[in-house]
Structure 1
Amino acid sequence: MTLKKIIFLFSLVLNGYISHSQDVKISGTIKDTSSFANVKNSVVALLTPKDSILQSFTRVNANGSFTLNKVKPGNYIMLITHPLFADYVEDIAINAASTELPLIALTPKSKLLEAVILKSGSPIRIKGDTTVYTADSFKVSANANVEELLKKLPGIQVDKNGEIKAMGEKVEKVLVDGEEFFGDDPGMAVKNLRADAVKEVQVFKKKSDQAEFTGIDDGQEKQTINLKLKEDKKKGYFGKIDVAGGPLKNKDPRFNSNMMFSSFKGKRKISAFLLNGNTGQDGLSWQDREKFASDDINMMMMDDGGGMSFWGGGGQGDDEPYVSTQNGFITNVNAGL
């Protein structure tokens, strides 16, 4: 190995070491101003002063202490929140020598002469067993959906298949304003709702339906996300269209088209679908049936001509079947609400 290569490799290692060594570990302790007791489970967050984007956060442990690892040197807004205390906001400068912050004292809300909160709209806060993210505190691209927003939230991961994990556990339900959003598929809400429609993202353990109905805890809980919408965003619509047909040059007469549409306004939700084709599909897939339709009625008839077409009503429809033969293929038209 030449001397030039050795120097080059050494410089790479040295640059990596210097870059890593510039990360700072910040630690501190939080106390209650009235009783001077430890304030555990407070959320400590660092935000950039220019745009209030969250850079790092952690929770205070039972001893009242906290540590933020791998913090880049620079100027930050430190925000500390707890449901029973006034928010604490302070501008701090972090450099290579900054490791231990002075003792931080929080003031109980009950001790305040007036209900003055130093800063509203905290990016992350704890309410009982629920972690609450303020959606507008996390920057996403224009027209982003909720899935992109979730990827920005500390403690939440979304993999390439759309599976969501919160605090290391698989999310099994995504609610919208406390209710299921067109079925229990978590992907329905996160892929079809815009990020800028969300006011808060709430993460909590939801008891089973039986436990909520009987009031008896059966120990069954599901990691759940609830999307709280902004008041002016509680209505909208979405859908999908799939169209397929044989190339004209092959003169293939087969075709298939699916159109599905959903609309919501507050607690009212309406879905409709239309299927048309001669490829043998005579109804929705189980996944789409859960999302877009209730019970649908299909009738199939075969005649000596080698094929047929029919009309089937879905949901509350009362349409009579219509039968004909075309090109030796079964043509199916099916609609429902």
Structure 2
Amino acid sequence: MRRLQLLFTLFALILFNCAQAQTTGGSISGTVSDEAKKPLDGATLVLLAAKDSTVISTSLAKADGSFSFQNLKNNTYIIKATYMGYKTHVSSQVAVSQQKPVNLPAITLSPSGKTLNEVSVTAKKSYVQQKIDRTVVNVGALISNTGANALEVLSKTPGVQIDADGNITFKGKSGVLVMIDDKPTYLSAANLATYLRSLPSSSLDQIELMDNPPAKYDAAGNAGVINIKTKKNTNRGFNAVTSVNLAQGFYGRSDASINFNYRIDKVNFFANVAYNKQKTFRRLEIDRNYFDENSNQTSSLQDISYFRPSSNNTNIKAGLDYFISPKTTWGVVFTGTISRDHDSSPVYSLLYGKTGELDSTINTLNTSQNKFDSKGINVNYTHKFDSAGRALTFDLDYIRDISGSNQFFVNNTFLPDGTLTNSQTIKDDLPATINIYSAKVDYTHPLKGKAKLEVGIKSSYVNTDNAANYFNVVDNISTIDYNNTNRFLYKENINAAYLNFNKTFGRFSLQTGLRLENTNGDGHQLGNAQKADSSFVKHYTNIFPTAYFSYNLDTAGHNVLVASYGRRIGRPSYGSLNPFTFFVDKFTYFSGNPFLKPQFTDDYKLAYSFKSLFTVAVAYNRTTDVQNETIHKVDNTFISTTGNIGKQKTLDFSISSNLQPAKWWSVNLYAEVYNNTYQGAFYSGYLNESKTTFSANGNNQFTLSKTWSAELSGFYNTSGTYGQFVSIPTGMLNAAIQKKILNNKGTIKFNMRDIFKSFSPSGTITNIVGATATYHNFVDTQVATLTFTYSFGKSISVPAKRNTGGAESEQGRAH
């Protein structure tokens, strides 16, 4: 496999050198941006013959606003630049000769509907945009995203799947790194789901999907990176967008948010504040059958759990930019999350004998009070040495997360006639604290011949303190349960350096990178009166190469072929390394695994796109030492543990399209077929599971009039395998309509999610020695939402603020 990686990189370099030799003819290059000097990614450039305005070629501007026309004959040309919502720009005549390339002055486009007294939005972004190293999803392009939370928005994103517990998979793989504005969230899967549910869609701008991120990003996340970008106002004066919505599902919910900024002279203050109040519902049914060594059924258990969590969540992001000069900016950003959750989750367990007769009933009353507080500060600096793009940036980050849970379990066991035979009361206190420190420096240096070199270093330090205090309560007297009480301390330091190079020449584009990461971990399990101390130390250093190669099959750039390769790592979450057992209910426990090893993934991809309207891709990835939730049985109790279960192979074929059948109708479709195969040593002897899954996601946008628009969207997934878990098909259909009011400054939207109440994540748990199990979820996803949004302020633009933050991989691992 390593030979294949080396050959792939060498092949790209050989093509790079060959292409340089093949480039002939004259050339025209330049950049296109708006009045704030923000690059207009995807702007259309048309090359015309000056003599008769004949169209010679067309091109789309890249992410940095650059464009080029190559292999041109000696002639005189005109460049026409267009972008939706902006006035068309026509250049003066440009004379081209093969001896000297032409570098045009920067093209600046003016908004076609700009006013100085109020915000007027005239440009409409497409829902999905394809780039060489990522797919960009514009959240606001879908009306049905109105009133949703970030987790619900993700569930409709191409290639992303969310289960009933909020766990995220991307293109059939778990272990994706979720980032907010290029910074990791530093949260466990459960806390991440809670946070994303508290984040309203009104505060979201884009979602970047990177199954093979460039070397600039941390190598963490074997399934790739999902980067959620929040909205940022950058205009002079005072500008704001406020949103309020009311929703009704099984219970009512509401949220409100405001995103504003105030820019005067050299100072820009910005803030995004959101408040969310909700109560949701979920019913979970788990059926278990137990067998002896001769495969004869000995008993069965049916669990029915009801979850009714109610929460109040506040999210704040505020910052200050100080523009010392046009080239130098200092900034500070504060982030904060305050979440309070209460849940009353009764569980009804029916235990049956081998002939199907009812043996006993266990009623469990589970109440919990949960809190999560997160505070963070980022100090950032940017210096641009010149107009060519040479720049230096650095970020310092500190984040402190404090979470806690107080649970109270009362288990009562009854005979079939209702006689109480046993009563057990357990309470626990589960505090956790995480401190994260991170520093990084990045430098960008343009090179001759439309090339660019990026280098950077980063160091992060994380320390976690997780405690689990369990008590048995008898006659209102609490005694410590030493068998389950524990405290786990973990420290980790990661040092990294990267080098990234990209160049465009003729029809070819090349981007290669190399990242080095050194990991040092130290875990300490504190003992108690009955348990001895234990500890472990881990050190490892790894290299992560990446390569992207694109080729325009025609001079117009309508047909593009892209090949890529990348290697990634999935480090164990902090909590999964904790070796003690955590109580879930009477028949279910979670146990940590201090022997977990990191998993490594090699990803290969080949894609073809036509005019950014149609993209077909095939990808293959192989993961070793796969980390996955495993289930094994001890007596009648199921123990859930994260383990290394061997290797996973995934072959994925996907297709996406952006179509416009009529002026009033636009369609975005995404579909993929992937095969997951898991093989490796397991509790049952050997795990060998393979299944092919079909997944489809689509939305229709309808422009009914100047002020009315509507949408119909949905997704469908067939059965799939994820380690021991085999899911059944599920899907969802959504509809929405909106009306612009108050001179287009206000909008009223109505959205109906999961119209047919068809989203019900369910499946089977396989490879359990002496038992079988199935699970079925009834989830509160059928929700009607009414939203009012209002925008106000001035529209004099200033340069866009760069995304800040250097803590890019540690957040998704806190447990």
TM-score range, shorter chain: 0.3 to 0.5
TM-score of the two chains, using structure 2 as the length reference: 0.15
